[in-house]
């Protein structure tokens, strides 16, 4: 099938974000489950993502990795879902801004903090995210500005940035600030989020039952 959508994922991974995005666009897709210890590092999957990481998405013969890129790609490939401002629209500014902010500074700041690394003050200038505190404050202001990050409507930026916030709060890697909690409450009640969660949670339950 030339235009088949295939999600390569593990239910306990960032693939949950890509699945949420797929559920938002309401297009049929197939799921290929990968195991961390085996298939994710096997030659068949390394040919798709040489990083041996999930998620990856195949759309016909096009392959895309990096969760933020997958969300942005799907929003553009299926414009009828209205999950991105059209190219050239001024709303592309906040759309790109917060998507890239989350994939770069937020991701790096959260990972480094989780590993116990704090940027020495004299090196803040050369570190793209400056400090963890500055990143959290910028994110707080961004999500506290309105209901959504881009204009007045939900977009792929909310799927990606919201996931960083929601999963970050769940794993304790970011603070549970009021603005974060309110924003996540708005997003996590979306039917597409609930469908994606149900699908991934059911796979986890099946895997646990099979391992018993």
Q: Measured from the CB atom, is 28 or 50 closer to ligand GSH?
A: 50
* Ranges within 30-49 binding ligand GSH (CB under 6 A): 36, 40
Total site size for ligand GSH, rule CB under 6 A: 10
- The residue range among 53-61, 133-141, 180-188, 196-204 that interacts with ligand GSH, by the rule CB under 6 A, is 53-61
Point out the residue whose Cβ comes nearest to ligand GSH: 53
Give the Cα separation of 29 and 3 in Å (integer). 10
Give the Cα separation of 138 and 141 in Å (integer). 5
- Least distance in angstroms from the C-beta of 142 to ligand GSH: 19
The residue from 27, 52, 153, 195 that contacts ligand GSH (CB under 6 A) is 52
Give the Cα separation of 36 and 13 in Å (integer). 10
CB 33, CB 58: distance < 8 Å: no
Please state at what angle helix 107-114 crosses helix 132-144, rounded to 10 degrees: 130
Burial class (CB within 10 angstroms; exposed 0-12, middle 13-18, buried 19+) of 164 = buried
Question: Can residue 54 be called a binding residue for ligand GSH (CB under 6 A)?
Answer: yes
CB 83, CB 70: distance < 8 Å: no
Window 59-88: contact mask with ligand GSH (x via CB under 6 A): -------xx---------------------
| DSSP secondary structure of 162-194 | HHHHHHHHHHTSS---HHHHHHHHHHHTSHHHH
Question: Can residue 53 be called a binding residue for ligand GSH (CB under 6 A)?
Answer: yes
Q: Measured from the CB atom, is 124 or 201 closer to ligand GSH?
A: 201
The residue from 5, 8, 9, 14 that contacts ligand GSH (CB under 6 A) is 14
The residue from 5, 7, 8, 13 that contacts ligand GSH (CB under 6 A) is 13
Give the Cα separation of 53 and 139 in Å (integer). 26
Question: Can residue 19 be called a binding residue for ligand GSH (CB under 6 A)?
Answer: no
- Least distance in angstroms from the C-beta of 55 to ligand GSH: 6
Question: Can residue 9 be called a binding residue for ligand GSH (CB under 6 A)?
Answer: no
C-alpha count within 13 angstroms, C-beta hemisphere, residue 144: 11
Judged by the rule CB under 6 A, the positions of this chain that interact with ligand GSH are: 13-14, 36, 40, 52-55, 66-67
């Amino acid at each position: 099938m030339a235009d088949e959508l295939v999600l390569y994922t593990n239910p306990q991974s960032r693939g949950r974000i890509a699945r949420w995005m797929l559920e938002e666009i309401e297009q049929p897709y197939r799921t290929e489950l990968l195991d961390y210890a085996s298939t994710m590092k096997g030659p068949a999957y390394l040919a798709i993502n040489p990083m041996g990481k999930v998620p990856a998405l195949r759309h016909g013969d096009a392959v895309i990795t990096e969760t933020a890129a997958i969300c942005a790609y799907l929003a553009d490939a299926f414009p009828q879902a209205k999950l991105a401002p059209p190219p050239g629209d001024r709303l592309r500014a906040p759309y790109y801004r917060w998507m890239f902010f989350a994939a770069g500074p937020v991701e790096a700041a959260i990972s480094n903090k989780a590993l116990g690394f704090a940027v020495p003050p004299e090196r803040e200038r050369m570190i793209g995210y400056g400090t963890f505190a500055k990143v959290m404050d910028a994110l707080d202001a961004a999500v506290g500005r309105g209901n959504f990050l881009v204009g007045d409507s939900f977009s792929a930026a909310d799927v990606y940035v919201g996931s960083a916030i929601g999963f970050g709060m769940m794993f304790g890697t970011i603070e549970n600030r009021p603005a974060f909690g309110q924003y996540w409450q708005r997003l996590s009640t979306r039917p597409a989020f609930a469908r994606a969660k149900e699908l991934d949670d059911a796979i986890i339950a099946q895997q646990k039952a099979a391992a018993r």
